[in-house]
Chain A
């Protein structure tokens, strides 16, 4: 299926709906993993809004991304409970290890690193989530070891 057709399919239920910008973009991102330029223009068309408006909304909300994410998404909680229990050190360690800042993806597209406000698993702070696996009670050493494991598996 071409990108164009795929977008048409995903956007069909939202066509002409009032207030559907966010759910429509969420659906597109769910299908494609990110919002390429064409997604913005197609969403604008099907909701009868300007690209400007769509882009304005998409850039306002932290969940929308405009670049493809890496093979593994590493999310580190930066919420209050995790902060008190030492998450900043873990962020620094992983930024150093991967050679990127949080919010970026490594050149080889292996890892993306993100900071999240709270996973709601504050009792296990500090919390790190790789793809869908939650790791609690992190230390810098444990975090580095876990990334090594993901690095090794292709």
Chain B
């Protein structure tokens, strides 16, 4: 068979590369790496290599998920384990190249860890590091290790083996395998994938479609982006298997336009598939013809919802419609359609490659396998992680994430984006799986995990999500269009200090109403952030309403900035920096903020040198300040309490 030859060749090339006598350098240039400056690092690296006449093989790879210390550069010298260096700014590059590549000093002080066999004195093994040790990277296995723009590197690492197995097994047995794996959808709701495929396969009709949902609208989540940028073929192989099993003739990848690099790498990947005969007519002689194309989103969160997404592909306004009929019966262009999330598709390829029995070794009783999460917010180590389902929140936040940033106190973890909820410290020992998170009032969602600390106001947080949901509501059904708007207005009122006691009750009623009567998942889940914050952080609502106080010092209307006369050194820094010109004073004169003019931007607090610490932010209290600027010395004598 032709594929055998391709595979043998790819494996041979990969082996030659691994045993190469030239040094090899791998640089992570996914979007997160680029935002941290990876492209400048690359430029300087190429210059330095040329300057020293070093013939190295430089490969751009995807993301291994350690976003907090990017750019990441891995260097492999012959017969040595690969060394991963973190925070490699252009400044460090010349020294690193000279020290390791020329003088053979591996610079353990700059290294993060080693990958592969063998050890190097003074450098730990990468996988032993606390942020990687609890992780199980099976979906992300290739991310950061292979060149995402080279199909042969994917093939050399068992790529498309799953598809080959599938065509040898025949559709019915593949379907059985997926059902046996108990894979559930990774897009949020967790519907059993095998069952969904079966509906579509059994649906009558010659023309059928499959769709990959890569809309990833949840703000604060980037799992699908990282996967598509780092290993696009793992998703595409899954789609190929799905199309073969379901009997689909055409596929679509609906990717949000905010991900230009993912779109670029997907289109490269699709072209390579065509070149290798993995798309088109009579693929690998299996009497199966299939092709797919990319559809770019246009900035509407609701288009992540499956029926809205299909309307969008059809070129219409992205409005959801009631189900049934389900897409498996009548989907895109009225034809049977199967839609899965990008990560679900990647799991499919893996299950076929390794078998459902192997897959059964990961995850919990009701939630099999692993899940990727974007760990962000006020956490020490932000990044993209993959963990077995059933792991406890505490292990994710404290072991992998390294705890709360800047030594602050944990307040909540928000999962599931605008559809999810906020979970307090008392629930940190809950397992992370579909059912436990729903029980706690949240949901797993697609994998955003945002950590909030003591400086996050939970009322403002709820307001933030409702502002998002009401803006993104498509407006088709009344409960969602008007209900979310009403809820947002009430929350806005509370955060401005104009809340009434009845507001809490009204929020609870509206939440129930919007949840039970909305047409689609957006409205049905939009109240979750409000309900969970009311359930777990009610005292914060009450402080805003009863005491006109924002305990976390966030809500602008309820806070004031003051300059402590006993601490102000009269240095003029804040006075000059205040964009509202709200500060009076002079050199060696105590500065005073005019509360009428202050816009509460906080610039004064940012610029006040730490050694003075004269600017304070308070809520619900007053600080006594002089009525006009007085000399600094006299005020010190006054010994203000500050």
A residues lining the B interface (CB < 8 Å): 18-23, 25-26, 56-57, 60-64, 78-85, 89, 92-93, 96-97, 116-125, 127, 134, 136, 139-141, 144
Measured in the bound complex, the distance between the Cα atoms of B599 and A92 in whole Å is: 9
Measured in the bound complex, the distance between the Cα atoms of B299 and A20 in whole Å is: 17
Beta-carbon contact of A80 and B601 below 8 Å? no
Measured in the bound complex, the distance between the Cα atoms of B31 and A122 in whole Å is: 11
Contacts of B321-380 to chain A: CB distance below 8 A: 374, 376-378
B579 CB–A CB distance under 8 Å: yes
Beta-carbon contact of B315 and A63 below 8 Å? no
Which residues of A have CB within 8 Å of B221? 118, 122
Which residues of B have CB within 8 Å of A19? 313-315
Interface hit among B48-56, B85-93, B448-456, B496-504: B448-456
B74 to chain A, nearest CB (A): 19
Beta-carbon contact of B579 and A57 below 8 Å? no
Measured in the bound complex, the distance between the Cα atoms of B299 and A103 in whole Å is: 14
Beta-carbon contact of B452 and A93 below 8 Å? no
Measured in the bound complex, the distance between the Cα atoms of B312 and A19 in whole Å is: 8
Interface hit among B238-246, B269-277, B436-444, B602-610: B602-610
Cβ-closest chain A residue relative to B312 = A22
Q: Can you pick out 28 interface pairs between chain A and chain B where the beta carbons lie within 8 Å of each other?
A: A23-B295, A23-B296, A25-B298, A26-B298, A57-B316, A60-B318, A61-B299, A61-B318, A79-B220, A80-B219, A80-B220, A81-B220, A84-B377, A89-B601, A93-B579, A96-B580, A96-B599, A96-B601, A117-B219, A118-B222, A119-B258, A120-B31, A123-B32, A123-B382, A124-B32, A125-B377, A141-B607, A144-B579
B301 CB–A CB distance under 8 Å: yes
B383 CB–A CB distance under 8 Å: yes
Given the known inter-chain contacts A80-B450, A140-B603, please indicate yes or no for A20 contacting B318, CB distance below 8 A.
no
B217 CB–A CB distance under 8 Å: yes
Beta-carbon contact of A64 and B67 below 8 Å? no
Q: Which of B34, B301, B315, B318 contacts A117 (CB 8 A)?
A: B301
B417 CB–A CB distance under 8 Å: yes
B197 CB–A CB distance under 8 Å: no
Cβ-closest chain B residue relative to A24 = B315
What 0/1 pattern do residues 31 to 45 of B give for CB contact below 8 A with A? 110111000000000
Cβ-closest chain A residue relative to B556 = A92
Given A22-B312, A26-B296, A79-B220: 11 more A-B contacts, CB < 8 Å: A60-B474, A81-B377, A84-B456, A120-B258, A122-B376, A123-B67, A124-B32, A124-B35, A134-B35, A140-B606, A141-B603
Q: Which of A81, A118, A139 contacts B606 (CB 8 A)?
A: A139
Which residues of B have CB within 8 Å of A84? 377-378, 450-452, 456, 461
B198 CB–A CB distance under 8 Å: no
Which residues of B have CB within 8 Å of A18? 314-315
Contacts of B283-330 to chain A: CB distance below 8 A: 295-296, 298-301, 312-318
Which residues of A have CB within 8 Å of B488? none
What 0/1 pattern do residues 441 to 478 of B give for CB contact below 8 A with A? 00000001011100010000100110010000010000
* From A117, A124, A140, residue with most partner B Cβ within 10 Å: A117
Measured in the bound complex, the distance between the Cα atoms of B36 and A56 in whole Å is: 39
Cβ-closest chain B residue relative to A78 = B219
B191 CB–A CB distance under 8 Å: no
B186 CB–A CB distance under 8 Å: no
Cβ-closest chain B residue relative to A120 = B222
Given the known inter-chain contacts A79-B220, A81-B376, A89-B601, please indicate yes or no for A123 contacting B68, CB distance below 8 A.
yes
Measured in the bound complex, the distance between the Cα atoms of B301 and A116 in whole Å is: 12
Beta-carbon contact of A118 and B601 below 8 Å? no
B410 CB–A CB distance under 8 Å: no
B residues lining the A interface (CB < 8 Å): 31-32, 34-36, 67-68, 70, 217-222, 225, 257-259, 295-296, 298-301, 312-318, 374, 376-378, 382-383, 414, 417, 448, 450-452, 456, 461, 464-465, 468, 474, 556, 577, 579-580, 599, 601-603, 606-607
Which residues of B have CB within 8 Å of A89? 601-602
Which residues of B have CB within 8 Å of A118? 218-222, 258
A83 to chain B, nearest CB (A): 5
Given the known inter-chain contacts A62-B298, A62-B300, A118-B258, please indicate yes or no for A80 contacting B313, CB distance below 8 A.
no
Cβ-closest chain B residue relative to A129 = B35
Beta-carbon contact of B383 and A123 below 8 Å? yes
Which residues of A have CB within 8 Å of B602? 89, 140
Measured in the bound complex, the distance between the Cα atoms of B604 and A93 in whole Å is: 13
Q: Which of B68, B298, B314 contacts A63 (CB 8 A)?
A: B298
Which residues of A have CB within 8 Å of B313? 19
Given the known inter-chain contacts A61-B318, A79-B219, please indicate yes or no for A125 contacting B300, CB distance below 8 A.
no
Measured in the bound complex, the distance between the Cα atoms of B456 and A21 in whole Å is: 42
Cβ-closest chain B residue relative to A25 = B298
Which residues of B have CB within 8 Å of A64? 298
Given the known inter-chain contacts A79-B220, A93-B601, A140-B603, please indicate yes or no for A60 contacting B450, CB distance below 8 A.
no
Beta-carbon contact of B315 and A21 below 8 Å? yes
Which residues of B have CB within 8 Å of A26? 257, 296, 298
Measured in the bound complex, the distance between the Cα atoms of B35 and A78 in whole Å is: 17
Beta-carbon contact of A81 and B579 below 8 Å? no
Beta-carbon contact of B315 and A57 below 8 Å? yes
Which residues of B have CB within 8 Å of A63? 257, 298-299
Which residues of B have CB within 8 Å of A120? 31-32, 222, 225, 258-259
Which residues of B have CB within 8 Å of A127? 35
Which residues of A have CB within 8 Å of B312? 22
Which residues of B have CB within 8 Å of A116? 258
Which residues of A have CB within 8 Å of B599? 92, 96
Q: Which of A61, A78, A96 contacts B298 (CB 8 A)?
A: A61
B34 to chain A, nearest CB (A): 8
Which residues of B have CB within 8 Å of A117? 217, 219, 258, 299, 301, 468
Beta-carbon contact of A22 and B315 below 8 Å? yes
Cβ-closest chain B residue relative to A54 = B315
Which residues of A have CB within 8 Å of B32? 120-121, 123-124
